[in-house]
Structure 1
Amino acid sequence: MNIVIIGYSVAAATASKRLIKEGHNVTIISKESDAPYYRARILELLENKSLKDIAIAPDSSIVINKAAVKIDRENHQVVLDDNSVVSYDKLILAVGSNANTLKVNSDKVIAIRSVSDVRRLQEMLKSAKSVAVLGGGLLGLEAAVKIHDASGLRVSVIDRSSWVLSRQFLQPEGELLSQMLAQLGIDVLTNAGDVSVKDGLEITFADGRKLHSDILVTSIGVKPEISLAKDCGLNVNRGIVVDDTLKTNDDDIYAIGDCAEFEGKTPCMVSAALDMARCVLAENKRYKNAPASAVLKIASLEAVSMGSVNDNCVRHVVETPTSREVFYLDGDVLAAYYAVGTSKNMVNAKLALTKPLSEKQKSDFSIS
């Protein structure tokens, strides 16, 4: 069977290797001229690593470095930007997501989504004295720490919420994380609300506070890429709508990774993308949304968030001078696990999540 994949993400690469092993012919269409790489690792290039260090190992797929501009569903063809066509029996969309951007026209503002973005940032850092990162989510915090470590510049994180990682943590752990970031040399400015930015990079918060910076890195979320799917009549919402086989409303077209939406959710996480890649065009596998989870590991900073807290949960805190773990139990069931400054129980907590804890597990986790 001839399978065409649009996009060369970790989801695409994982699916491609499996499908080739199963005897299919795979063609990958990618508009990026750089060799395929793990997008989640692009900030490692700031650490003097090369593209080779984050490259995706090649397989025997055919790679076409052109942009797909149209899907002709009737004729089972993908039209490329040079008007050539690629025919398919099955088509997998792995087109990823796009960064949300500020409505400001300035060459001092940058969102980091590709290798070329990192290269541009490296040039900008050479003449800068300070950097601001807008967005206190996982990617924003990673960017802040790695920029600070690579450049030695003053770096400030600006977050509209009352604490960083507000989608992953409750306030006590978010505030502890801010303290740990401060110890690494990162300023954390919360309660910023909606900010306005002038070209000279005077950043004004909703309450009137101002911050001057030479560079503004934006990390304010992503939106799934749906234009190709929408233009050819596939069902789209926030993402490209799929069922538990990752199939769209066209029996021969599938979507995986950041662009896919299943049961109203677009996880936009590597773990979900890998799960989708294992399930797509697999006869006996069905995809299901996993419990919410997030892991931050940068320099000496570690943070883990798993599951979700409900009104019935009881909070159990295990604390050391350098770390805090929080176990939220609904009865004996582990509903959520938060950790800041450690990840030692991450694997065991993930295995135990949403299940009743035995007395031995409680003892192992130091829950009293």
Structure 2
Amino acid sequence: MTRIVVVGNGMAGARLVSEVRARDEHARLTVFGAETWQPYNRVLLSNVVAGTMQPDQVRLLDPSWYADHGVTAMLGVEVTAVDRETQAVITATGRREPYDVLVLATGSRAVVPPVPGAERAVAFRTLDDCRAILRAAGAARGAVVVGGGLLGIEAARGLAGRGLPVTLLHLAGHLMERQLDAEAGLVLGQTLDTLGVRTRTGVVVEEILDDGVRLAGGETVEADLVVLACGVRPVTDLARDAGLHVERGIVVDDEMRTDDPSVFAIGECAEHRGTVYGLVAPAWEQAAVVADLVTGTDKTARYRGSRLVTRLKAKSVELAAMGETHLTEDEAEVVRFSHRAAGTYRKLVIRDGRLVGAILLGETAAVGTLTQLFDRGAPLPGDRAGLLFPGLPASAAVADSPVRMPDAAKVCQCNNVTKGQIRACWESGARDVAAVAAATRATTGCGGCRDAVEGIVGWLCEQEGVPV
């Protein structure tokens, strides 16, 4: 019986455990999680801050799942060392757990800037962090969020939705500079301003005070609550101490295997072909590959990298960014439309007749179409305006309408679920979104595909005369 030990019980580790058990009922599975919580969906923590979801609603596995599936779960137990010679992991209490296969899914930790008073702030990374933020927000008169990336914007919008005046401070010249160009960052900042979030870019925080933060130059921004969302760093200490190859992350090959053939790494701690992925979809794709390999289900399984689509999950802010968004007209064909007053910005980056990047800010019916075209690398129609404005007569052949959407179109990016799979499980009796989610896992990642899934299910019910 193969002994599989998983270190890390977050979104990657928990997914691996469930994938392995789905393929092999007899493998001996042990998972260690440093947090005492059952595994939860970290992507949805901004909804907890905003108050639109409760902590128990972001849980990935039911508490009874482990016992029901014969998995030994060691929650709140930190693994401090890997003994590769004897093939065992060692915990902080001295327990030794032998393995035949070890999977490192240690994730990332929040980056805390080295400024005086950093201990007065709350990082935004874990469920415990969320609870600390909510406790402080209850008595706060104002908040500062440091960091204008994805998490920082979601945290700021969530706190503003609770009625707190919020100032968002960002070091770079515009928000989400990794995913957005300067114009998109400006439009996003103006949109946030209308929602109660004051944004300031190009500022340096020099100290965190009891009553706010001090900026370079001496200015003080007052706040009772300071939240840090300054990025994350892969947790690689365990692998490095064990002598494994570590660069920015734990280096793995296409099998997600480290330079020790019995040790794998997946998720935010893993570096594949020079890239460390910080989104859920790649982690879940990697978990499926490792599960196939370690159970022998598919010995040819390989991970070839992921085409990333970033979605902002903030109420009243619609944003999707994908691929190479920073290319200029000298490097590619660029089609764009900006309407700052309406909070709308759309940009397509096209190379060799194919979509290699896009930014879609503000409500647009083009998101589904463009995501499909980007994911499939399909040739684009000649009418570029029709891609940005699907209502025009000559719009793209791939459509958002369930009627014209091909069965191969990917609806849920996180779980790689197509329209055809949704149709198949509907025909098998899954007649609402909850049933489809249970059968396919669609909507259980970032949640961005929920409207599309609802639309497909509703359309199928309407076609067959089934009550919705």
* TM-score greater than 0.5 by the shorter chain: yes
Q: SS of the residue aligned with 1:344?
A: coil
Deviation at 1:364, TM superposition (A): 4.7
| Residue matched to 2:121 | 109
1:90–1:343 distance in 2 versus 1, CA, 3 Å: farther
Q: What corresponds to 2:7 in structure 1?
A: 6
Once the 2 structures are TM-superposed, how far is the Cα of residue 260 of structure 1 from its aligned partner?
0.4
Match of 2:381 in 1: 358
How many Å separate the matches in 2 of 1:15 and 1:21?
10
Aligned counterparts of 1:118 and 1:130: Cα–Cα separation in 2? 17
> Deviation string for 1:174-223 (max 9, x for gaps)?
1001111011111000111x320143344333455432222211111111
For the residue of structure 2 that corresponds to 1:86, the secondary structure is: strand
Q: Is the 8 A contact 2:190 2:343 kept in 1?
A: no
- Find the partner of 1:49 among 44, 53, 78: 53
Q: 1:331 to 1:248 in 2, by over 3 A?
A: closer
Q: Secondary structure at the match of 2:166?
A: strand
Higher relative CO (CA 8 A, sep ≥ 6), structure 1 or 2? 1
CA separation of 1:33 and 1:198: change in aligned 2, threshold 3 A = closer
Indicate which of 3, 18, 36 corresponds to 1:33.
36
CA contact (8 A) 1:134 1:158 kept: yes
1:163 corresponding residue in structure 2: 174
SS in 2 for 1:356: coil
Bigger shift: 202-211 or 140-149?
202-211
Distance (Å, rounded) in 1 between the aligned partners of 2:14 and 2:229: 25
Counterpart in the other structure of 1:285: 301
Distance across 1 between alignment mates of 2:367 and 2:279: 17
Residues 347 and 312 of structure 1, relative CA distance in 2, 3 Å threshold: same
CA RMSD, 1 decimal: 2.1
Q: Hey, what does 2:333 align to over in structure 1?
A: 314
Q: 1:245 touches 1:281 (CA, 8 Å); kept in 2? A: no
Matched, 1:294 2:310: yes
Deviations 1:346-365 (A, max 9, x none): 33212222443123786354
- Opposite residue 319 of structure 2, the aligned amino acid is A
| 3-state SS of paired residue (1:126) | helix
C-alpha displacement at 1:83, in angstroms? 1.1
Partner of 1:80: 91
TM-score, L = length of structure 2: 0.74
Q: Which deviates more from structure 2 when the two are superposed, residues 54-63 or residues 135-144?
A: 54-63
Cα deviation for residue 345 of structure 1 reads 2.4
Gaps of 5+ in 1: none
Aligned with 1:156: secondary structure?
Answer: strand
Is the CA contact (8 Å cut-off) linking 1:131 and 1:213 kept in structure 2?
A: yes
Q: Does 2:173 correspond to 1:172?
A: no
Give unmatched runs, 5+ long, in structure 2: 293-298, 395-468
- Structure 2 CA distance for aligned equivalents of residues 297 and 44 of structure 1: 8
TM-score w.r.t. length of structure 1? 0.93
What is the alpha-carbon distance in structure 1 between the residues aligned to residue 267 and residue 144 of structure 2? 29
CA distance in 1: counterparts of 2:224 and 2:130, whole angstroms: 16
- The 3-state SS of whatever aligns with 1:359 is coil
Provide the aligned length of Structure 1 versus Structure 2: 366
Alignment partner of 1:341 is 2:345: no
Match of 1:184 among 172, 176, 195: 195
Q: More helix by proportion, 1 or 2?
A: 2
SS in 2 for 1:168: coil
* CA distance in 1 between partners of 2:54 and 2:383 (Å): 46
Identity %: 26
Corresponding residue to 1:127 among 128, 134, 139: 139
- 1:53-91 deviation digits (Å, cap 9, x = unpaired): 111123522201211111111111111122111111101
Give the Cα separation in 1 of the matches to 2:45 and 2:235: 20
Are the aligned partners of 2:212 and 2:226 in contact in 1 as well (CA < 8 Å)?
A: no
